[in-house]
């Protein structure tokens, strides 16, 4: 049996892409799968062996400096045939595993150089400098690996210029996440929702401002809302009176929030890699038969407008966001049709089953083409 080891130093051990989609899919198709992460709960879950590499580090810098070495000891002990790692800071470990003759897959979740440009702890000059050197470093390093799995078509295109084995594995919803799990007998309320990371770059301030112009419609805001200047700005908005702060919620609660809402909103600002990203939230809203209000990026318009499952707006404009919310609220028949269209698109196109088939084909190709798999 081919032994596979997934490694992450950044993500939670139960990360949806890493654990629930990739690891479980591989285990269900006969592979011996181990997942190593910090702060993990050890055991065998859904046929995946989970190993705890210990407590996570106090800060990002310590983790980047020491995390690879710590987690690498656990990884090498597994003596797996294939190593699949998920974080740029584990590139040195990936190169070491490649030198040991292992098959190594680098799973690229984000366009990191573009992501660096949005980090608030860098000045513009430092951010551009770090982004430039990160791109050069990553482009050179990936040549050591057997395959690159990219979470979006945009990331795939970036690496196809420099690597011959690049694949796009999209973060489409699992079948279990699609609408049959919507709680029964739940009535729509006069509210919209946003579920996910809450940061200024994700357009949250504009969304909150918009709520002041929506005729009393409420906003369910679910996620970790950090204290500080960003939170203070939000609380000064006239729209704050219409916001329900829910904090971090589990999947069951998130499903209930979506089922009660008239629309799901993703107001990301046009910065960094947002323009070419495919957030899970788009497909999760669609899978819940919920109309989507998203930023007017070309890729998002292709998904939302072409499938007639929502509206796209200039996310910098609170007025445009408010107009879209009011349009859906005042046209319930249109909203129902948008929800049905989104659900249909997820069932037929944007689902994990299609991506799982690609993942399995990649693994089978790698194992068949390398003599080091015993």
This prediction has a pTM of 0.83
Task: Indicate if 202 and 53 belong to the same structural domain.
Answer: no
Q: Is residue 307 part of a domain?
A: yes
Task: Indicate if 142 and 208 belong to the same structural domain.
Answer: no
Task: Indicate if 86 and 35 belong to the same structural domain.
Answer: yes
Q: For 257-301, write each residue's pLDDT tens digit.
A: 999 999 999 999 987 678 888 888 999 999 999 999 999 999 999
**CATH number reported for the structural domain that contains residue 142 in this entry:** 3.40.50.2000
Task: Indicate if 310 and 182 belong to the same structural domain.
Answer: yes
Task: Indicate if 52 and 148 belong to the same structural domain.
Answer: yes
Task: Indicate if 185 and 297 belong to the same structural domain.
Answer: yes
Residue 85 burial by CB count (10 A; 0-12/13-18/19+): exposed, middle or buried?
A: buried
Q: Is residue 132 part of a domain?
A: yes
Q: Is residue 123 part of a domain?
A: yes
Task: Indicate if 274 and 339 belong to the same structural domain.
Answer: yes
**Which segment of 64-68, 82-86, 107-111, 305-309 scores lowest on mean pLDDT?**
64-68
Q: For 103-125, write each residue's pLDDT tens digit.
A: 999 999 988 888 888 777 788 88
pLDDT for residue 180 is more than 70: no
Q: For 122-167, write each residue's pLDDT tens digit.
A: 888 888 898 899 899 999 999 999 999 999 998 999 999 999 999 9
Q: Is residue 63 part of a domain?
A: yes
Q: Which helix (H) or strand (E) holds 306?
A: none
CA 87 – CA 148 distance, rounded (Å): 12
Q: In this structure, what DSSP letter does residue 79 have? A: -
Residue 194 and residue 265 in contact, taking contact as beta carbons nearer than 8 Å: yes
Task: Indicate if 303 and 165 belong to the same structural domain.
Answer: no
Q: Is residue 269 part of a domain?
A: yes
Q: Is residue 236 part of a domain?
A: yes
Burial per residue of 277-306, b for 16 or more beta-carbon CB atoms within 10 angstroms, e otherwise: bbbbbbbbbbbbbbbbbbbbbebbeebbee
Q: Is residue 374 part of a domain?
A: no
Which residue range forms the structural domain that includes residue 49?
3-172+352-369
């Amino acid at each position: 049996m081919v032994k596979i080891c997934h490694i992450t130093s950044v993500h939670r051990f139960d990360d949806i892409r890493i654990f629930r989609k990739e690891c479980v899919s591989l285990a269900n198709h006969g592979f011996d799968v181990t997942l190593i992460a910090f702060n993990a709960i050890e055991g065998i879950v859904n046929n995946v062996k989970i190993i705890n590499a210990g407590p996570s580090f106090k800060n990002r810098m310590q983790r980047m400096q020491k995390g690879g070495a710590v987690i690498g000891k656990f990884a090498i002990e597994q003596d797996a045939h294939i190593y699949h790692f998920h974080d740029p800071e584990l590139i040195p470990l990936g190169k070491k595993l490649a030198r040991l003759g292992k098959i190594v897959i680098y799973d690229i979740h984000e366009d990191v150089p573009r992501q660096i440009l949005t980090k608030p702890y860098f000045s513009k000059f430092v951010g551009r400098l770090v982004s430039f050197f990160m791109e050069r470093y990553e482009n050179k390093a990936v040549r050591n690996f057997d395959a690159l799995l990219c979470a979006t078509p945009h990331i795939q295109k970036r690496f196809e210029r420099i690597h011959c084995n690049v694949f796009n594995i999209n973060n489409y919803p699992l079948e279990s996440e699609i609408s049959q799990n919507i709680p029964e007998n739940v009535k729509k309320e006069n509210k919209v929702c946003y579920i996910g990371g809450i940061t200024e770059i994700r357009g949250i301030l504009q969304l909150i401002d918009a709520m002041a112009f929506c005729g009393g419609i409420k906003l369910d805001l679910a996620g970790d809302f950090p204290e500080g200047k960003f939170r203070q700005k939000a609380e000064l908005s006239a729209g704050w009176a219409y916001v329900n702060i829910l904090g971090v919620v589990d999947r069951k609660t998130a499903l209930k929030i979506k089922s009660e809402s008239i629309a799901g909103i993703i107001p990301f600002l046009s910065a960094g890699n947002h323009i070419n990203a495919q957030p899970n939230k788009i497909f999760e809203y669609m899978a819940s038969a919920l109309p989507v209000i998203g930023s007017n990026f070309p890729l998002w318009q292709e998904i939302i407008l072409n499938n007639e499952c929502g509206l796209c707006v200039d996310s910098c404009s609170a007025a445009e966001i408010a107009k879209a919310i009011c349009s859906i609220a005042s046209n319930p028949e249109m909203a129902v049709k948008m929800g049905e269209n989104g659900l249909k698109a997820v069932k037929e196109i944007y689902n994990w089953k299609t991506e799982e088939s690609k993942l399995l084909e990649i693994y089978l190709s790698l194992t068949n083409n390398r003599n080091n798999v015993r």
